[in-house]
Structure 1
Amino acid sequence: MTTIPLTPRLSRRSALQGAAATLAAAATPAIARARRKRPNILYIMADDLGFADLSCYGRRDFETPALDRLAADGLRFTNAYANSAVCTATRVGLITGRYQYRLPVGLEEPLAFRQNIGLPSSHPTLPSQLAKAGYRTSLIGKWHLGSLPDFDPVQSGYQTFWGIRSGGVDYYTHATSNGQLDLWDGPTPVDQAGYLTDLLADRAIAEIRVASAGAQPWFMSLHFTAPHWPWEGPDDASESARIAKAKDLKALFHFDGGSAAIYAAMVRRLDYQIGRVLGALDKAGVAEDTVVVFTSDNGGERFSDTWPFSGRKTELLEGGLRIPAIVRWPGVTKAGATSDAQIISMDWLPTFLAAAGAAPDARFPSDGVDITPAIGGASLPARTLFWRYKNHAQRAARRGDLKYLKIADNEFLFNVAADPLERANLKDRQPEAFASLKAEWEAWNATMLPLDPQSYTHGFTASELADHYGVDD
């Protein structure tokens, strides 16, 4: 005999209460409604991607349809900055929510060769604080914040890790220039064939499937290595094998290699795989419950498009610091919106913690701010952002439209809104503004750690690099 479930009979009071609740929900601001359920957070970071390397940011010679769709569904920032013009320093700012110059590892530009430097496991981080708040946390991709045994993602808040520990590896052999394998599943080396961008996406999709089946919210840092050198596209496996066999240092670093066509193929493949990852959110039924952020760790390299800016990675000109940043936050972002709010990498920590109903550790207050209002279409309070970079004694500060810049003995004041190429020096026309920003930078710098003369600053010769990596030059 088939049992037919009975439909509950509603009293008039219950019906009125239900209607009132519906009306109240409709009247509640979108951000408040979105925060009633703590969202999953998917933070996707490219490596060395230029400001205009996506077609939604102006790339003209190829298209990035997956990320264009993400921007069409969400918000695109036009004044997003990296904490540094190189990768390790920015990653320190991101994971701690603080200026990287507060920690010795943040003085590395980037981290290379030094075994006693890394992110201290005792320092609270974005993943450790989210884990404390009940989130499942994972890092898939690039770490570059210190070497085993003292420094490790799982010692700094990530419950699972699958990726590389160094700054860059061959996309096919997954080895550093001395032939050492650098692909890991937690503490275990992984010997797996495949183009690294593809493997990272596959792993992210698998993690989304598992994490979304659980009861707890999740946070994933998906740190692709693309389009960081070596310049290897998805169809360059035979060339990669030749490089690995020869242990060719110059070929791995590719300071004089690659091509615009290979770079385009790398970015297009990155876009394609991100599309697959975003599709996995839909298949898992969690797209509406997930905040998605896409950005880069610093400005672009040789083949990048940084228009309308000048400069590139390792330079505090806008091209080295300005990055794409796209946010899709269902219920908070408005589809197809843009924001000119000035944001920076370290802002993501207080923003994500606020979304999780948590706050930064009081012992290590964040230098960033919660940018949720800007994500929702509002403005942010005025503030000054600061940078320094050891190579060529660079320093920079931006307040409003004005930017103070020093490179070696040359000092400038630019209006980067009116003059994004940074060509018209206003130092003599606006001496008070110049002096004020310079003094503000000096006061800020006095609160940071002094520069480390032993930190890496791209000053090594080919022979010195070979000695450090254990290969012949």
Structure 2
Amino acid sequence: MNKKTIALPMLALGGLAMAQNDPQHPNVVFILADDMGFSGIHCYGGEGIDSPNIDYLAENGIVATNFRATALSSPTRVCLMTGNYAQRAGLNHIFSEVDPMDGLDPAVHPSFAKVLQAAGYRTGIMGKWHLGQDIMFNPLNHGWDVWHGYTMGNIDFHTHYNTQHRIDWWDGREEADEPGYVTYLINKYSVQFIRESVAMEQPFFLFVSENAVHVPMQGPNDPPLRTAEVCPYRNDQDMTDQEYRRVYQDMVKAVDDGVGQIYQTLKELGVLDNTLIIYTSDNGGESIAAQKYPGNNGYFRGAKGGPYEGGCRVPAIFYYPKEWGHRMTMEPMSVIDYMPTFLDFCGVSNARKVDGVSLLSTLRTGAPMPERKLFAAQTGFQTVVDGDWKLVWTRDDTIELFNLFTDRNEEHNLADKYPERVKAMKADIQAWWDDCTKGTRLEGKTTFNSGWMVEMMAGRQQGAGAQRPQPAK
């Protein structure tokens, strides 16, 4: 498969000096909610959800209605950081929760943060990492100057315990647990980072990586769930629908309050007009969320972790008051496009070849996105979207073909009606998989039998621990 080459013009006065000394060099605040479905906020149709600050960004910015992430956390973050499909990093599921040596190797897969850092940007990430637990995978090794957050997929919002009976809160490379509701801590450190960067007269990229609305479901006033002795993964199975909605809304409010604090800080410091704010989510809402809060994933079928649109279609808002007004776009966009877009917007050159393309022309002028196929794979399924057509290929060799223009809910399987199209799209998937996995730990495997979770469970069934593969070198 051919990847695009990012070859953007260098900064007029030389990348490093220009970035460090020009106060008008644009800033970026990228806010990533966790497990928030397509309609998880009011402006995307979330019934009964109060999100006034996020809604303000949507009312005055560009609202994308055809944006797809992956269906899981770690793969989305790999795509975000590298501009490539996660399979190029040998990832077909989340990074292991039980093997700390499973992660994104910065020496092999450098992130966009390193490129921005080299161009004079100050980079900060507040919150969730989920790209490896060992110190070698630490965000500071990936080009981030500042990090306050946690390594794994989720932590208790109050005690900060992860599912492995450990407190998981860090200040850079040091474990530094501190009291506080996680979303409030993320909000605090985000504002602090902006103030410090402006005081230093340095352009900045801030990645606000939320814990909400991932399980455990805990609002600011709800009790702790996890301790050193007891660390259940979730707490929402027995919640009534009414209780679930109340907690969900409390969690969204804490995130929305943080968006408001960030906005007001940018405005107070006089840098709002020179800052791009993006709000989005890493994947669709969970199936329990869809059951207890119907409509969380909009009108889409399915949920997080699955092959259908409910697992990957997410809100995406682009607010840049200096140039862009309010409009909606239905152009097909993908999480692999963020990395080239960030660099394009910041005027930073990079010659690495990536799968994604810059969204900047579409955002600035409304120009159509280039025609291309968008792929996805995870342990158990593969999909490809080609124009209006989507093929779903699952573990038991079930094939489903949908026309997303006429059947956005994916209710009518047209595979038997269009066998030649099915054949061609299956061939597209196989060629993409072979290309992406070449030289990785996935090479020679299929998406149906790869991933640390599958291998670990196979080991358990055999009564022996499975040997999990190491990161690609």
| TM-score past 0.5 threshold | yes
TM-score normalised according to structure 2 size: 0.84
What residue ranges of structure 2 are gaps of 5+ in the alignment? 1-21, 291-295, 466-473
**Residues 245-282 of structure 1, C-alpha deviations (whole Å, 9 max, x = no match):** 483333x4336254232122212221122221222111
| 1:278-289 correspondence runs (5 A) | 278-289=263-274
2:383 aligns to what SS in structure 1? strand
Q: Are 1:256 and 2:245 counterparts?
A: no
Query: Which of 320, 345, 350 does residue 355 from structure 1 map onto?
Result: 345
Q: Are 1:63 and 2:50 counterparts?
A: yes
Query: Which of 292, 299, 310 does residue 319 from structure 1 map onto?
Result: 310
| 1:341-380 correspondence runs (5 A) | 341-362=331-352, 365-376=353-364, 377-380=366-369
Q: Distance in 2 between matches of 1:405 and 1:74?
A: 33
In the superposition, relative to structure 1, how do residues 205 and 79 fare at CA in structure 2: closer, same or farther (>3 Å)? same
TM-score normalised according to structure 1 size: 0.84
In the superposition, relative to structure 1, how do residues 154 and 46 fare at CA in structure 2: closer, same or farther (>3 Å)? same
Structure number, greater radius of gyration: 1
| 1:12-23 correspondence runs (5 A) | none
Following superposition, the deviation at residue 425 of structure 1 comes to 0.9
Following superposition, the deviation at residue 138 of structure 1 comes to 0.8
Q: Distance in 1 between matches of 2:55 and 2:79?
A: 27
Query: Which of 138, 141, 154 does residue 127 from structure 2 map onto?
Result: 141
| 1:112-151 correspondence runs (5 A) | 112-122=97-107, 123-151=109-137
Q: Distance in 2 between matches of 1:396 and 1:102?
A: 16
**Residues 52-89 of structure 1, C-alpha deviations (whole Å, 9 max, x = no match):** 1111111112221111100011001000000x211011
Contact 1:88-1:111 at 8 Å conserved across structures = no
Q: Distance in 1 between matches of 2:298 and 2:338?
A: 25
Partner of 2:419: 431
2:184 aligns to what SS in structure 1? helix
Partner of 1:293: 278
| 1:129-208 correspondence runs (5 A) | 129-208=115-194
Q: Are 1:394 and 2:376 counterparts?
A: no
| 1:83-122 correspondence runs (5 A) | 84-104=70-90, 106-122=91-107
> 1:160 corresponds to which letter in structure 2?
V
Partner of 1:247: 229
2:103 aligns to what SS in structure 1? coil
> 1:262 corresponds to which letter in structure 2?
V
Percent identity, aligned pairs only?
32
Contact 1:47-1:226 at 8 Å conserved across structures = yes
2:431 aligns to what SS in structure 1? helix
Q: Are 1:268 and 2:248 counterparts?
A: no
Following superposition, the deviation at residue 244 of structure 1 comes to 3.1
**Residues 116-154 of structure 1, C-alpha deviations (whole Å, 9 max, x = no match):** 221112132110011111111111111111123221100
Residue range with higher mean Cα deviation, 42-51 or 60-69: 60-69
Contact 2:190-2:208 at 8 Å conserved across structures = yes
Q: Distance in 2 between matches of 1:285 and 1:410?
A: 55
Query: Which of 25, 29, 37 does residue 42 from structure 1 map onto?
Result: 29
**Residues 390-427 of structure 1, C-alpha deviations (whole Å, 9 max, x = no match):** 1xx21101011111112232111111122111011111
Q: Distance in 2 between matches of 1:195 and 1:248?
A: 19
Query: Which of 412, 415, 421 does residue 403 from structure 2 map onto?
Result: 415
In the superposition, relative to structure 1, how do residues 323 and 359 fare at CA in structure 2: closer, same or farther (>3 Å)? same
1:138 aligns to what SS in structure 2? strand
Contact 2:95-2:103 at 8 Å conserved across structures = no
1:139 aligns to what SS in structure 2? strand
2:391 aligns to what SS in structure 1? strand
1:412 aligns to what SS in structure 2? strand
Q: Distance in 2 between matches of 1:417 and 1:332?
A: 31
Contact 1:263-1:303 at 8 Å conserved across structures = no
How many pairs were matched up? 419
In the superposition, relative to structure 1, how do residues 380 and 36 fare at CA in structure 2: closer, same or farther (>3 Å)? farther
Partner of 1:222: 208
What residue ranges of structure 1 are gaps of 5+ in the alignment? 1-34, 469-473
Partner of 2:16: none
Query: Which of 310, 323, 326 does residue 301 from structure 2 map onto?
Result: 310
Partner of 2:19: none
Contact 2:36-2:213 at 8 Å conserved across structures = yes
Partner of 1:338: 328
2:192 aligns to what SS in structure 1? helix
Q: Distance in 2 between matches of 1:172 and 1:422?
A: 39
Q: Distance in 2 between matches of 1:350 and 1:66?
A: 27
1:292 aligns to what SS in structure 2? strand
In the superposition, relative to structure 1, how do residues 441 and 453 fare at CA in structure 2: closer, same or farther (>3 Å)? closer
Residue range with higher mean Cα deviation, 372-381 or 311-320: 372-381
Q: Distance in 2 between matches of 1:245 and 1:146?
A: 22
